[in-house]
Amino acid sequence: MPFPNLDSVESILAIIIVFGVLVFVHELGHFLLAKRAGILCREFALGMGPKIFSIKRGETEYTLRLLPIGGLVRMAGEDPELDILKPHMEVSVERDAVGKVTRILLDRTDSGGRGSVTGTIVRFDLEHQLTLTLDVDGEERTFSVHPQAHLVKDGQEVQIAPYNRQFKGKTVMQRFWAIFAGPAANFLLAFVLFVVIGLSYGVPSNVPYLGEVRPGGPAAQAGLMEGDRVIAIQGQPVSSWKEIVQIVSQSPGKELVFEIERNGQRKSAKVRIFNDNNVGKIMVTQTLTYAPGEVLKYGALSTYEFTAMILKSLGMLFTGAVGLNDLSGPVGIFKMTGEFAQQGLAVLLKWAAVLSINLGLFNLLPLPALDGGRLAFLLVEALRGRPVDPHKEGMVHFLGFAFLMLLILVVTWNDLQRLFLQ
């Protein structure tokens, strides 16, 4: 399945698509588990910074933002969106057929529609009791508020969020899964991408058959052919490709007798094993399989192996074996993505899978402002039986975010130096 050579514009498109998919899947994980828990999700955004496109569907506003450096799912209770409602404020309310308030109008110029009531706020509870008390011409009147009522100010509507629709109103486990689902979705995406690669290009098979026999190599010189089934080597029975590799790799420079089966007939051939830095080779590739079971196994094993490799690299960073100068930031990753895109679709898909694992692991680090940091606070809450003070947690996340921004600046500077100063 060839992938055409890319010019700079197409490389940029490849970068946008890869990172767009990674971020979308990550945020989709948060979104789906939050919705399943009954949390009001106010916004599902790709990118950061100013909005360049938005559309409202149901309770959620789906937005595309200017800076392609992440995304967010804005859940009710995480922003002080209802602080605009204050005692002694003059408002108008609109009610439905049974008398429940459906809209609270905060603009003085907007007196509401037919049947609306205007008054001054005496008290309100839009989280638990869902009531609003107004002073209407010197008389206090208490109204029941619909759980999906909206606040309206400057033409913008914000849906209220009763406590049971807020993130903080859910159990520790419901909040845990809503947060953990983002990184988990990235691991799932990596698995799916590896499976797609396997189904499209095949995966190495462990059966003892010869794949492509390289011309001029030891196997070719001995008369071995693609499709030959190796029965034994030096009289030792062989039942898997792994056994073939083990015997050959341990016999550099030796002559081995291969017993093979070809078209139902048995043959033998003497193969002079090539010595490559004390490792034996016969210049034959492994056969490929498209069997669904093997492809699924390949997807799971590849995801596990790359996860282990990245964790090892992270460990080297924390132990000092790898320094900050060895890290790449967004600029370096964008550049590598463009380069891999030019090497073919298979390479690009594998790189996207590795990036997805990176994104999942990075977000699980127990650092403030990351998903792992939020999970750490949930663990503390579960152990002590009560949540950490929201203001203290918010300050920790703020400082953590500042640190992450500083780290991104440092690694970006490293990238720029490698690109332009070397």
The confidence score (pLDDT) of residue 6 equals 44
The confidence score (pLDDT) of residue 14 equals 83
Tens digits of per-residue pLDDT, 299-332?
A: 999 999 999 988 887 777 676 665 556 566 666 6
| Percent of the chain scoring above 90 in pLDDT | 65
27 is catalytic: yes
Per-residue confidence band for 353, with pLDDT thresholds at 50, 70 and 90: very high
Alpha carbons 188 and 299: distance in angstroms, whole number: 10
The confidence score (pLDDT) of residue 5 equals 43
The confidence score (pLDDT) of residue 416 equals 60
Considering only residues 333 and 422, tell me which one the structure prediction assigns the higher pLDDT.
Answer: 333
Computed over every residue of the chain, the mean pLDDT equals 87
The confidence score (pLDDT) of residue 83 equals 74
The predicted model scores a pTM of 0.82
Per-residue confidence band for 3, with pLDDT thresholds at 50, 70 and 90: very low
Q: Which of 27, 43, 94, 259 is catalytic?
A: 27
The confidence score (pLDDT) of residue 390 equals 76
In this structure, of 49-53, 96-100, 410-414, the range with the lowest mean pLDDT score is 410-414
| Percent of the chain scoring above 70 in pLDDT | 87
The confidence score (pLDDT) of residue 1 equals 40
Helix-, strand-, coil-residue percentages of the chain, each rounded to 5: 45, 30, 30
Considering only residues 400 and 227, tell me which one the structure prediction assigns the higher pLDDT.
Answer: 227
Tens digits of per-residue pLDDT, 92-129?
A: 999 999 999 999 998 866 666 667 899 999 999 999 99
Considering only residues 5 and 79, tell me which one the structure prediction assigns the higher pLDDT.
Answer: 79
Per-residue confidence band for 11, with pLDDT thresholds at 50, 70 and 90: confident
In 183-340, DSSP assigns E strands to: 203-204, 210-213, 229-233, 236-237, 255-262, 265-272, 274-276, 279-281, 284-286, 288-289
Say if residues 26 and 179 touch (Cβ distance below 8 Å).
no
Tens digits of per-residue pLDDT, 147-192?
A: 999 999 888 889 999 999 999 999 999 999 999 999 999 999 999 9
The confidence score (pLDDT) of residue 100 equals 95
Regarding beta strands 117-125 and 131-136, do their DSSP bridges make them parallel or antiparallel, or are they unpaired? Answer: antiparallel
Tens digits of per-residue pLDDT, 243-282?
A: 999 999 999 999 999 999 999 999 999 999 999 889 999 9
The confidence score (pLDDT) of residue 186 equals 97
Structure tokens at 3: 């992938």
The confidence score (pLDDT) of residue 81 equals 59
The confidence score (pLDDT) of residue 410 equals 66
CA distances from 300 to 11, 95, 109, 195, 305 (A): 29, 55, 61, 8, 9
Residue 4 has pLDDT above 50, yes or no: no
- Taken in order of first residue, the domains within the chain and their CATH numbers are 90-160 (no CATH), 206-286 (2.30.42.10), 292-420 (no CATH)
The confidence score (pLDDT) of residue 422 equals 54
Where do the H-state alpha helices sit in 148-240?
A: 172-201, 218-221
Alpha carbons 304 and 306: distance in angstroms, whole number: 6
